[in-house]
Amino acid sequence: MLTNPLVATYNAVATNLDLRGFPKNGKSTYSGVIAATSEPIRATVQHSSEDAVGAQHFIRLDVDNVVAGQVTRTNSVWLVMKTTIGLQDSAEMTKAVNAFITLLNGTNIADLINGEY
Protein backbone atom coordinates (compact mmCIF):
# COMPACT_ATOMS: atom_id res chain seq x y z
CA MET A 1 0.00 0.00 0.00
CA LEU A 2 1.17 3.54 -0.70
CA THR A 3 1.87 5.88 2.18
CA ASN A 4 -1.11 7.74 3.59
CA PRO A 5 -1.21 10.60 3.11
CA LEU A 6 0.43 11.04 -0.27
CA VAL A 7 2.07 14.45 -0.67
CA ALA A 8 1.77 16.38 -3.94
CA THR A 9 3.54 19.70 -4.49
CA TYR A 10 1.50 22.02 -6.71
CA ASN A 11 2.87 25.48 -7.52
CA ALA A 12 5.45 25.08 -4.72
CA VAL A 13 2.76 24.23 -2.13
CA ALA A 14 2.92 20.75 -0.55
CA THR A 15 -0.53 19.27 -0.05
CA ASN A 16 -1.50 16.09 1.81
CA LEU A 17 -3.76 13.77 -0.16
CA ASP A 18 -5.62 11.45 2.20
CA LEU A 19 -6.95 8.02 1.25
CA ARG A 20 -10.72 8.19 0.76
CA GLY A 21 -12.46 4.97 1.73
CA PHE A 22 -10.91 1.58 1.20
CA PRO A 23 -9.10 0.42 -1.94
CA LYS A 24 -11.59 -1.49 -4.08
CA ASN A 25 -11.11 -3.58 -7.22
CA GLY A 26 -7.46 -2.53 -7.48
CA LYS A 27 -8.29 1.20 -7.26
CA SER A 28 -7.60 3.82 -4.58
CA THR A 29 -8.48 7.52 -4.46
CA TYR A 30 -6.64 10.16 -2.43
CA SER A 31 -7.80 13.77 -2.09
CA GLY A 32 -6.93 17.07 -0.46
CA VAL A 33 -7.25 20.84 -0.82
CA ILE A 34 -4.41 23.15 -1.83
CA ALA A 35 -4.18 25.55 1.14
CA ALA A 36 -3.09 28.64 -0.82
CA THR A 37 -5.93 28.46 -3.37
CA SER A 38 -8.60 26.20 -1.81
CA GLU A 39 -8.54 24.13 -4.99
CA PRO A 40 -9.35 20.42 -4.74
CA ILE A 41 -6.60 18.00 -5.77
CA ARG A 42 -7.04 14.23 -6.24
CA ALA A 43 -4.84 11.27 -7.05
CA THR A 44 -6.22 7.99 -8.36
CA VAL A 45 -4.14 4.80 -8.39
CA GLN A 46 -5.28 1.68 -10.21
CA HIS A 47 -3.74 -1.71 -10.98
CA SER A 48 -4.80 -4.47 -13.35
CA SER A 49 -4.07 -8.04 -12.40
CA GLU A 50 -0.87 -9.48 -13.77
CA ASP A 51 -1.25 -12.39 -16.15
CA ALA A 52 0.71 -14.07 -18.94
CA VAL A 53 0.41 -11.03 -21.23
CA GLY A 54 1.59 -8.43 -18.73
CA ALA A 55 0.33 -5.94 -16.18
CA GLN A 56 -0.82 -2.34 -16.07
CA HIS A 57 -0.63 0.34 -13.37
CA PHE A 58 -1.59 3.98 -13.54
CA ILE A 59 -1.66 7.05 -11.40
CA ARG A 60 -3.70 10.12 -12.30
CA LEU A 61 -3.52 13.54 -10.66
CA ASP A 62 -6.47 15.95 -11.07
CA VAL A 63 -6.47 19.60 -9.97
CA ASP A 64 -9.72 21.58 -10.15
CA ASN A 65 -9.22 25.28 -10.87
CA VAL A 66 -11.86 27.20 -8.90
CA VAL A 67 -13.00 30.77 -9.57
CA ALA A 68 -15.72 32.35 -7.41
CA GLY A 69 -16.64 28.95 -5.99
CA GLN A 70 -17.07 27.32 -9.43
CA VAL A 71 -14.80 24.76 -11.06
CA THR A 72 -13.62 26.39 -14.30
CA ARG A 73 -11.41 23.52 -15.50
CA THR A 74 -9.82 20.31 -14.33
CA ASN A 75 -6.16 19.71 -15.19
CA SER A 76 -5.23 16.02 -15.29
CA VAL A 77 -1.90 14.26 -15.65
CA TRP A 78 -1.70 10.50 -16.16
CA LEU A 79 1.17 8.06 -15.97
CA VAL A 80 0.47 4.57 -17.29
CA MET A 81 3.01 1.82 -16.67
CA LYS A 82 2.31 -1.22 -18.81
CA THR A 83 4.06 -4.48 -19.63
CA THR A 84 2.58 -5.90 -22.82
CA ILE A 85 4.52 -9.13 -23.46
CA GLY A 86 5.35 -11.55 -20.68
CA LEU A 87 5.38 -11.01 -16.94
CA GLN A 88 6.33 -7.65 -15.49
CA ASP A 89 9.86 -7.23 -14.16
CA SER A 90 9.67 -4.56 -11.44
CA ALA A 91 13.35 -3.57 -11.76
CA GLU A 92 13.06 -3.10 -15.53
CA MET A 93 9.79 -1.18 -15.18
CA THR A 94 11.44 1.11 -12.61
CA LYS A 95 14.23 1.84 -15.11
CA ALA A 96 11.67 2.71 -17.79
CA VAL A 97 9.70 4.99 -15.42
CA ASN A 98 12.88 6.78 -14.32
CA ALA A 99 13.88 7.30 -17.97
CA PHE A 100 10.42 8.74 -18.66
CA ILE A 101 10.73 11.13 -15.71
CA THR A 102 13.99 12.51 -17.14
CA LEU A 103 12.01 13.61 -20.22
CA LEU A 104 9.79 15.77 -18.03
CA ASN A 105 12.04 18.80 -17.71
CA GLY A 106 10.54 22.31 -17.77
CA THR A 107 11.31 22.97 -21.44
CA ASN A 108 9.85 19.68 -22.66
CA ILE A 109 6.68 20.09 -20.59
CA ALA A 110 6.09 23.61 -21.91
CA ASP A 111 6.71 22.45 -25.50
CA LEU A 112 4.33 19.50 -25.11
CA ILE A 113 1.58 21.70 -23.65
CA ASN A 114 2.07 24.08 -26.61
CA GLY A 115 1.58 21.25 -29.10
CA GLU A 116 5.21 20.68 -30.14
CA TYR A 117 6.28 17.31 -31.51
Same-domain check for residues 75 and 101? no
In a domain, residue 110? The reply is yes
Give the Cα separation of 88 and 50 in Å (integer): 8
At 46 the pLDDT is 93
In a domain, residue 1? The reply is no
At 54 the pLDDT is 76
Cβ neighbours around 56 below 10 Å, total = 16
Same-domain check for residues 53 and 100? no
Q: Helices H, strands E: what count in the chain? A: 2, 6
Statement: the pTM of the whole predicted model exceeds 0.85: no
What CATH number has the domain bearing residue 75? 3.30.380.10
At 115 the pLDDT is 93
Total domains present in the chain: 2
The boundaries of the domain holding residue 114 are 88-117
Same-domain check for residues 61 and 99? no
At 48 the pLDDT is 83
Same-domain check for residues 22 and 78? yes
- Per-residue pLDDT tens over the stretch 14-65: 999 999 988 888 899 999 999 988 999 999 999 887 666 678 899 999 999 9
- Per-residue pLDDT tens over the stretch 85-108: 778 888 999 999 999 999 998 889
The residue-averaged pLDDT of 66-74 equals 92
For residues 42 and 17, is the Cβ–Cβ distance under 8 A?
A: yes
At 36 the pLDDT is 87
Cα Rg for the chain, rounded, in angstroms? 16
Give the Cα separation of 71 and 87 in Å (integer): 41
Cβ neighbours around 113 below 10 Å, total = 8
